[in-house]
Amino acid sequence: METVTAAKKKKKEKPVPFDYSNYIRKGKLPHIWCPGCGHGIVLKCMLRAIAETGRPNDDFALVSGIGCSSRTPGYVNFNTLHTLHGRALAFATGLKMAKPNLKVIVTTGDGDALAIGGNHFIHTCRRNLDIVIMVYNNFIYGMTSGQFSPTTLPGMIATTSRYGNIDPPFDVCKMAEAAGATFVARGTAYHYGELEKILHEAIMHKGTAVIDIIDSCPTYYGRFNKFKSPADMMEKIEKEGTVSVKQASGLPPEKLEGKLLRGVLCKKERLEYTEGYAKLIEKAGGSKPK
Amino acid sequence: MTETETEKDLPRILIYEELCKGCDICAVFCPTEVLELKGNMMTVKNLEACTRCQLCDLRCPDFAIQVF
């Protein structure tokens, strides 16, 4: 009997909405992202994942390059660095080497990470530096008015591909895994709970963590490709266009065609770069880094 | 900021007007159709139906809605 009443009481308890005020800089909202842009949802997931770690704001550093996604550090109350186009990972590498105890998170877009900063991306993965790389993948260059990016799907329309794109896209996760990242995952803005868990796991992971986050750009990608609304985009691209790893294991291959896998795709242990560097310093008889 | 509250055990939905951009995501994904877009602003249509599931809050890109 007692358990029943306890369960009833629990059900009646009102949920408390998450308080973002500790993590958002005062007076910076509303943000510049367009109505219906998925970046805001991803930002909220990231803040909740960071809050779950229980570590103080000063332990985190957000680094970004140029683009819509790279506006993120402007709104959050951590150590932040807004840098050059595509070079966020280069700055983040320097920061991490100088302060190995900082948890460095890089917020970058598909164009920023894979086209302009493609070289930095693969080499950061190769070194296994302890950085979380969040690739906000909206399949287009949003800030510069909708040119196609390295992840734009074939046949899709962009400002620079008026008759449909013919370039085959990059698979961010496969590339990161091949380059040597030790934590590779994919999430979407629609599946906010899953994304929050993945981000938390990535933050706790020691080594390069790459998360390909599918979200939507209603202003350019949506309008060019005849999606009715931001919600329609979320449903078609994020919900119907992806399958979780668990579901995929029970589906025939023809049903998985054209769909992206969601969830943690690769997780392994390997020597982290700053640890290796500290060992090297010790071997050479130098002083310990602070 | 608009506030909808009743004396009974009904939920309280806060919509921050200065933050809401009227993208309609919360209304479309609300399982009980509580919200409605009026002009460029989200409004509460049917408060009794609200189950406090928080889906609107969690999918709002603009930090503009909260349910208590």
Q: Over 70: is that where the pLDDT of B6 sits?
A: no
Question: Average pLDDT of A28-52?
Answer: 93
Question: Average pLDDT of B48-60?
Answer: 91
The residue of chain A nearest to residue B57, with distances taken between CA atoms, is: A17
At A64 the pLDDT is 95
At B10 the pLDDT is 86
Cα–Cα distance for residue pair A209/A181, rounded to 1 Å: 6
Q: Which of A21, A41, A199 to mutate to test the interface with B (most CBs of B within 10 A)?
A: A41
Pairing relationship of beta strands B41-44 and B13-15 according to DSSP bridges: unpaired
Kindly list the residues from chain A whose CB atom is less than 8 angstroms away from the CB atom of residue B29.
231, 234
Higher per-residue confidence, B9 vs A129: A129
Q: Which domains does chain A have, with CATH numbers?
A: 33-284 (3.40.50.970)
* Nearest-CA distance A35 → chain B (Å): 5
Q: Are A187 and A195 in contact (CB under 8 A)?
A: yes
Of the pLDDT bands very low, low, confident and very high (cuts 50, 70, 90), residue A160 is very high
Supply the ipTM of this predicted assembly. 0.89
> What's the 3-state SS for B25-55?
HHHHHCCCCCEEEECCEEEECCHHHCCCCCH
Non-local CB neighbours of A232 within 8 Å, separated by 6+ positions:
A222
* Residue ranges of chain B whose CB lies within 8 Å of a chain A CB: 11, 18-19, 21-25, 28-29, 52, 54, 57-63, 66-68
**Exposed, middle or buried by CB within 10 Å (0-12, 13-18, 19+), for A70?**
buried
Of B22, B29, B59, the CB nearest to A35: B22
For A193, other C-beta atoms within 10 Å of its C-beta total 11
Overall residue count recorded for chain B in this entry: 68
The residue of chain A nearest to residue B53, with distances taken between CA atoms, is: A15
Cβ of B54 within 8 Å of Cβ of A229? The answer is: no
Q: Over 60: is that where the pLDDT of A4 sits?
A: no
In chain B, where are the structural domains located?
2-67
Digit-coded pLDDT (tens) for A201-224: 999 999 999 999 999 999 999 999
Higher per-residue confidence, A277 vs A14: A277
Question: Average pLDDT of B57-67?
Answer: 93
Cβ of B61 within 8 Å of Cβ of A218? The answer is: no
Digit-coded pLDDT (tens) for A65-84: 999 999 999 999 999 999 99
Q: Over 90: is that where the pLDDT of A254 sits?
A: no
Query: Quick one: what percent of chain A has pLDDT higher than 70?
Result: 95
For A264, other C-beta atoms within 10 Å of its C-beta total 19
Q: Which of B25, B41, B42 to mutate to test the interface with A (most CBs of A within 10 A)?
A: B25
Cα–Cα distance for residue pair A71/A107, rounded to 1 Å: 9
Q: Over 80: is that where the pLDDT of B49 sits?
A: yes
* CATH architecture for residues B2-67: 2-Layer Sandwich (3.30)
The residue of chain A nearest to residue B65, with distances taken between CA atoms, is: A17
Digit-coded pLDDT (tens) for A89-129: 999 999 999 999 999 999 999 999 999 999 999 999 999 99
At A258 the pLDDT is 84
* Nearest-CA distance A177 → chain B (Å): 30
Q: At what angle do helices A39-53 and A192-204 cross, to 10 degrees?
A: 50
- Lowest-confidence range among A200-204, B6-10, B53-57? B6-10
Give the SS3 label for residue A182.
Answer: coil
Question: Average pLDDT of A242-264?
Answer: 89
Q: Which of A34, A44, A197 to mutate to test the interface with B (most CBs of B within 10 A)?
A: A44
Of the pLDDT bands very low, low, confident and very high (cuts 50, 70, 90), residue A29 is confident
Digit-coded pLDDT (tens) for A41-58: 999 999 999 999 999 999
Of B52, B58, B61, the CB nearest to A39: B61
End-to-end CA distance of chain A: 57
* Nearest-CA distance A38 → chain B (Å): 6
DSSP classification of residue B9: S
Query: Quick one: what percent of chain A has pLDDT higher than 90?
Result: 86
